[in-house]
Structure 1
Amino acid sequence: MTVSDFDDYRPAEPPRRRKRGGKRRRAGGGEGRGEVPVVPEAEFTSYYGRPVVKPPPWGDPIAVYLFLGGVAGGSALLGVGGQMTGKPILCRNSRLAALAAIGVGAVALVEDLGRPERFLNMLRTIKPTSPMSLGSWILTAFSAGAGVSAVSEIDRMTGSRLPLGPLRRLLRGLEGPAGVEAAVFAAPLSAYTAVLLSDTANPTWNAAREDLPFVFVSSASLAAAGLAMITTPVKETGPARALAVLGVAGELIATRFMEKNMDPVAAEPLHLDGPGRMLAWSERLAIAGGIGALVGGRHRLTAAISGAVLLGASALTRFGILRAGIRSAENPRYTIEPQKNRLAARRRAGIIHDSITTTE
């Protein structure tokens, strides 16, 4: 890229000649009253009909991983909450949920990668500038803490029948610190997938890069709270109900800010066709589940129904955002028009003496 003094050079207009009868026309102009356009209106096409940005080859396994990663992170937080507030059933169920969610999520991730060793290859180095590299290490560190605390709970549930031998005492000692360690990595686990999506050239994901992590963290909170409301007696679900209400409010607010800060064209796929329906239903279910948790969370059946509704809302959020981004990459319009809008904004701001913009 170079910067030249000729970047803002504007060629002089062609000379005008008098027409017979005293009227003037441009040299090289066309017939009639108006000028013949030199360049036809742009059509949003690309070479050989290919997208400008190649859509990622991600299907439902990645959407499942995005959803279950959030469930695991939120459940680890609830596990620590139950541990610190003296709610053993909530602590136990949340720890088991965290391990189950991260285990099934890892299977979905490996399914997308094709071979398990590809995940292991990502652990050969640490690259701070790569969300994929850091995410792999976050997932590994979280799994270690969640695994230790959950195995201790399983051993306790079975009456100490696991063949642990002298390791049982060590496991009991590490149970609490391991749960706290998993909770430390809970928020990064819930948010790094949003950073991973937005750190691409995908038009919709990239336009949402400032707010998408907040949407994912809030979605993880209401999903984990919903699962705890299903599996735990209402006498111990107070922290889960509070987290559910906070998660619903956070997701609704973060989603509004995200769409407000996005280019309107890049935000269109969030409202169109299948992804748009998913996200619309996600909002409705989140509101219904939040009201159920707030008003009827002390009744077992109402709490379970509200929890299932919140889980559905979180899953639809992840699936909808994933598919909206893929849809935006398939259509050249969502790549070209936001670029033109950013170019116009730079010109309006007076940024014209560089290689990105030039005077018209």
Structure 2
Amino acid sequence: MDAVNQTDVRLDDAPAVRPERDALIGSAGRPERRRGPRERILAPEPDFRSYYGLPVLNPPTWKDADIAAYLFLGGLAGASSALAAAADLTGRPHLARACKAGAMGALGGSLYGLVHDLGRPERFLNMLRVFKITSPMSVGSWLLSVYGPQAAAAAATALTGRLPRTGRAATIGAGLLGTAVATYTAVLIADTAVPVWHDGHRELPYLFAGSATASAAGLGLLAAPPAETGPARRAAVAGLALEFTALKRMERRLGPIAEPLRHGTGGRLLRLGTALSLTGVAAAALAGPRDRATTAAAGVALLAGAVCTRFGVFHAGLASARDPKYTVGPQRRRLTEATEEEATP
């Protein structure tokens, strides 16, 4: 900066211009670079966390009223069908009927959220034109198309009391497919570039399976007589244990990428979901065989906990897509590790 300040540039013939400082053309005009302890680097350190201050990824344009609800309701439908099949085979007709009706209602809400996000119903039908095993969206569309009629038949026969054999076959078929319906959405969102979802592809199916199981248990506790809720109580414990284990394992394995699962809107919803699920399991364990009020309250808590969990995972994914450090950081770390491995003899 001193060299620039000492250069006098004049456009007139004033005597202040020293002859030896006349402008020169070419390399002769370049001032000699001075080196010393006062030399400073004026350019800032490069920051590779973003591209001109913009996010590396375009966050999904999905709305939580559509897609987050679709994730929750799809899991509730699939797990409810599985619980209905177990209740039907063990002679618990009220629990089976409640879960069948709940599965059909949840499936309808799930499909509505999906179609509303797509914008036009024919877009869902267009996905059925081909079957692509490598596409989670294609597989999921066909899965819903096969599962939906069986869930509808199981609910219709249970509510009308007609065609019991057809209803039993539809109940078993929907129960078997319901396990896939409850978890395929985890594969669907893990197939995106969103850091939390993509890097959490190992644990997300187990997390969604546990959350769906707990929500179906909550539906059974809320709608069935307490005397028939034995399978629902056991499902609540198993679902909570699976959900909690998968979430903690996912947080440990992802490291810094898991920050949106602990902080922000996603972190708050996940903590609230865990607290509500724990409350529901505890209330279900303390409720007596005829304590209808406590059993119903436990069901509401489990359903609310499952809602918070799905919405928490949804918002954590959006937060990780907005911040470039969750995209560039892991890439640079993997590149550094690969370079170190190549340099190791």
TM-score interval (norm. to shorter): 0.7 to 0.9
**Structure 1 residue 31: deviation in Å?**
3.1
Question: Where does residue 260 of structure 2 map in the other structure?
Answer: 269
Any conservation in 1 of the 2:48–2:328 contact (CA below 8 Å)?
A: no
**Structure 1 residue 341: deviation in Å?**
1.8
Question: Where does residue 45 of structure 2 map in the other structure?
Answer: 40
Q: Compute the TM-score of the two structures, normalised by the length of structure 2.
A: 0.85
Letter in 1 for 2:118: L
Secondary structure at the aligned position of 1:344 is classed as helix
Give distance in 1, aligned partners of 2:288 and 2:149.
32
Secondary structure at the aligned position of 2:91 is classed as coil
Give distance in 1, aligned partners of 2:58 and 2:288.
45
Q: Which of the residues 158, 180, 194 maps onto 1:153?
A: 158
Q: Does 1:180 align with 2:172?
A: yes
**Structure 1 residue 297: deviation in Å?**
5.8
Give distance in 2, aligned partners of 1:200 and 1:225.
30
Which string of whole-angstrom CA distances, capped at 9 and with x for unpartnered residues, describes residues 1-42 of structure 1?
A: xxxxxxxxxxxxxxxxxxxxxxxxxxx995329995987142
Question: Where does residue 123 of structure 2 map in the other structure?
Answer: 118
Q: 1:30 to 1:224 in 2, by over 3 A?
A: farther
Q: 1:97 to 1:297 in 2, by over 3 A?
A: farther
Give distance in 2, aligned partners of 1:70 and 1:29.
69
Letter in 2 for 1:176: R
Question: Where does residue 84 of structure 1 map in the other structure?
Answer: 89
Letter in 1 for 2:100: R
**Structure 1 residue 347: deviation in Å?**
3.3
Which string of whole-angstrom CA distances, capped at 9 and with x for unpartnered residues, describes residues 42-89 of structure 1?
A: 253324x43211111111211111000111011101111111101111
Question: Where does residue 314 of structure 2 map in the other structure?
Answer: 322
Give distance in 1, aligned partners of 2:36 and 2:321.
42
Question: Where does residue 192 of structure 1 map in the other structure?
Answer: 184
Letter in 2 for 1:123: L
Q: Which moved more, 1:307-316 or 1:339-348?
A: 339-348
**Structure 1 residue 255: deviation in Å?**
0.7
Q: 1:116 to 1:297 in 2, by over 3 A?
A: farther
Over aligned residue pairs, what C-alpha RMSD do you find?
A: 2.2
Give distance in 2, aligned partners of 1:260 and 1:126.
36
Secondary structure at the aligned position of 1:185 is classed as helix
Question: Where do 1:17-96 residues align within 5 Å?
Answer: 31-32=36-37, 40-42=45-47, 44-47=49-52, 49-60=53-64, 61-96=66-101
Which string of whole-angstrom CA distances, capped at 9 and with x for unpartnered residues, describes residues 83-133 of structure 1?
A: 110111111111111111101111111111111111001111100000000
Q: 1:34 to 1:232 in 2, by over 3 A?
A: farther
Secondary structure at the aligned position of 1:127 is classed as coil
Give distance in 2, aligned partners of 1:202 and 1:188.
22
Any conservation in 2 of the 1:245–1:294 contact (CA below 8 Å)?
A: no
Question: Where do 1:1-20 residues align within 5 Å?
Answer: none
Letter in 1 for 2:321: A
Letter in 1 for 2:82: L
Give distance in 2, aligned partners of 1:204 and 1:30.
48
Q: 1:172 to 1:343 in 2, by over 3 A?
A: same
Q: Which of the residues 336, 343, 353 maps onto 2:335?
A: 343
Give distance in 2, aligned partners of 1:31 and 1:216.
62
Question: Where does residue 22 of structure 2 map in the other structure?
Answer: none
Q: Does 1:291 align with 2:282?
A: yes
Any conservation in 1 of the 2:70–2:111 contact (CA below 8 Å)?
A: yes
Which string of whole-angstrom CA distances, capped at 9 and with x for unpartnered residues, describes residues 163-204 of structure 1?
A: xxxxx6xx4332111111111111111111111111111111
Secondary structure at the aligned position of 2:219 is classed as helix
Give distance in 2, aligned partners of 1:294 and 1:347.
54
Q: Does 1:307 align with 2:299?
A: yes
Letter in 1 for 2:168: G
Question: Where do 1:88-237 residues align within 5 Å?
Answer: 88-156=93-161, 171-237=163-229
Q: Compute the TM-score of the two structures, normalised by the length of structure 1.
A: 0.82
Any conservation in 2 of the 1:245–1:293 contact (CA below 8 Å)?
A: no
Unmatched runs of 5 consecutive residues or more in structure 1: 1-27, 157-167, 354-360
Unmatched runs of 5 consecutive residues or more in structure 2: 1-32
**Greater Cα radius of gyration, structure 1 or 2:** 2
Letter in 2 for 1:145: Q
Question: Where does residue 251 of structure 1 map in the other structure?
Answer: 243
Secondary structure at the aligned position of 1:210 is classed as coil
Seq. identity, %: 41
Letter in 2 for 1:336: V
**Structure 1 residue 352: deviation in Å?**
5.6
Give distance in 1, aligned partners of 2:102 and 2:244.
25
Number of residue-to-residue matches in the alignment: 311
